[in-house]
Amino acid sequence: MRPTRRTFCAGLAAVPFLRPGAASAAPLVPLTARHATVQLAPEGYPATPVWSYDGTLPGPLLRAAQGSRLSRRLVNALEVPTSVHWHGIRIDNAMDGVSGLTQAAVPPGGSFDYAFDLPDAGTYWYHAHTNSMEQVARGLYGALIVDEADPPEVDRDEVLVLDDVLLDPETGRIAEGFDNPMMRSHAGRLGNLLCVNGRFDLSLAARRHDRLRLRLVNAANARIFVLRLEGMSGWTVALDGMPLAQPVPASGDIVLAPAQRVDLIVDVTAEAGAPAALVHRAGDGSWRALVEVAVSARGTSAARSAPPPLPPNPRMTVPGADSAEPREMRMQGGAMRGMESARHQGQLLDFAALIARGQFWSLAGQAGRGDDPFARYERGETARIRLVNDTAFAHAMHLHGMHFRTLLPDGTQGAMRDTVLMAPDEVTEIAFVANNPGKWLMHCHMLGHAASGMTSWIEVA
């Protein structure tokens, strides 16, 4: 019997389409940048229109195993161009998401396929990197967790994304004025509503003696959070995703600058019903709950001993830092100090001319990303940069593509991080192995500072 068209088609469908490369041709899971409305402010205040990933704030929690590959199709359903930066991932340069440097911005209605390896376990995040000053403030951010093959034993693993939102209390809308010179030339855009995971009143439930892994991400534009544990005691086990060699007791202030992350392993010590919280230091110096922990009846386990360190990630050493020649990146500008002059778009301009162009800051004499990189490195070379904060403000300096270590005065190396907070007048030396080829941004993560001069870049051949 001759096969009918119908049976022919059915037969064809039964043939497995397992040609090489077929898997990569499958459509990627979308990550859609779009409008949404969320209730950020307390009940009684209006809801807040935001720019979101997939309609939520924060965007969806992305989670994958160390050593696996993550892929998402960014779909731009906004009216403005955008792109996604995968913050802290030691990533292929073409996937870094910096529009104008590693890719063209994705136009409204357009899409871009991100697919990259995840070499390191830890707490990372993703956020817009096109006009990020405005786009991150409007809600384009989310957490990205890369799981160890052998994670530490805890009762709960909680991802806490901190934000500091500037709302108009009358309308509930995100306040405009992203180019406000006062904010840009001072400490940056500070908000009037602190949120964790999009809630001003986030509360966790736990039992006494529960062990929690708290993964804190600071997604705020400019707020430096100063945090403490109340009714809990614990250890810092990772910074900016990278495990510490040994857990460090988190008994004092936990300082989290914009873009930084900290992984804590904490034990609930409060009695049932007694106060337990992650508290933050408010502007008036008082300590207020940021995340409350409702402690219920005693858990089954008793108090435990200190946790072992997390398994290290690959390539965490920086050999040759001592003998590497430091290059100085002087940070200048801002209110109270200003600067003599800086180069901007190929011209040497005095401070008044820079201000007229919305440039309040400079890095190594350059305001904004120039045509030439701050430094070029051979692949595999150990790079050393001496950051000199010549301004009256704190800055959170972030390097894309590679983690660095700070070089401490006693000759040892600090924790491996991707963002370092610098106080006014502070000098910090950082060193890293320039083993990731490409063009990598280096900028202040107070996003108003980055948008008004504090953006530089390096190139690894």
> What residue ranges bind Cu ion (CB under 5 A)?
395, 444, 446, 449
Length of the chain equals 461
Q: Where are the alpha helices (DSSP H) in 280-420?
A: 351-356
Nearer to Cu ion, 189 or 395 (CB): 395
Nearer to Cu ion, 53 or 360 (CB): 360
Nearer to Cu ion, 162 or 446 (CB): 446
Q: Tell me the closest approach of the beta carbon of residue 74 to Cu ion, in angstroms.
A: 27
Q: Tell me the closest approach of the beta carbon of residue 383 to Cu ion, in angstroms.
A: 21
Q: Tell me the closest approach of the beta carbon of residue 453 to Cu ion, in angstroms.
A: 9
Sign for the CA dihedral angle at 388, 441, 219, 241 comes to negative
Nearer to Cu ion, 112 or 457 (CB): 457
Nearer to Cu ion, 280 or 449 (CB): 449
Nearer to Cu ion, 167 or 331 (CB): 331
284: buried, middle or exposed (CB in 10 Å: 19+, 13-18, 0-12)? exposed
Nearer to Cu ion, 72 or 449 (CB): 449
Helices (H) and strands (E) in the chain, counts: 6, 32
CA–CA gap between residue 69 and residue 436 (Å, rounded):
17
Nearer to Cu ion, 128 or 187 (CB): 187
Q: Tell me the closest approach of the beta carbon of residue 333 to Cu ion, in angstroms.
A: 10
DSSP tag of 348: E
Nearer to Cu ion, 208 or 449 (CB): 449
CA–CA gap between residue 393 and residue 409 (Å, rounded):
22
CA–CA gap between residue 456 and residue 372 (Å, rounded):
9
Q: Tell me the closest approach of the beta carbon of residue 441 to Cu ion, in angstroms.
A: 14
Which one, of 389, 387, 357, 359, lies nearest residue 374 by Cα? 387
- Residues in CB range of 269: below 8 A, 6 or more apart: 208, 209, 231, 232, 233, 276, 303
Nearer to Cu ion, 221 or 382 (CB): 221
CA distances from 62 to 33, 127, 161 (A): 15, 12, 13
CA–CA gap between residue 4 and residue 7 (Å, rounded):
5
* Sheet-wide strand order for 375-377: 375-377, 455-460, 438-444, 395-399, 419-422
Which one, of 100, 105, 103, 128, lies nearest residue 371 by Cα? 100
CA–CA gap between residue 409 and residue 423 (Å, rounded):
16
CA–CA gap between residue 386 and residue 325 (Å, rounded):
10
Nearer to Cu ion, 213 or 417 (CB): 417
CA within 13 Å, CB half, 343: 13
CA–CA gap between residue 116 and residue 72 (Å, rounded):
9
Q: Tell me the closest approach of the beta carbon of residue 328 to Cu ion, in angstroms.
A: 17
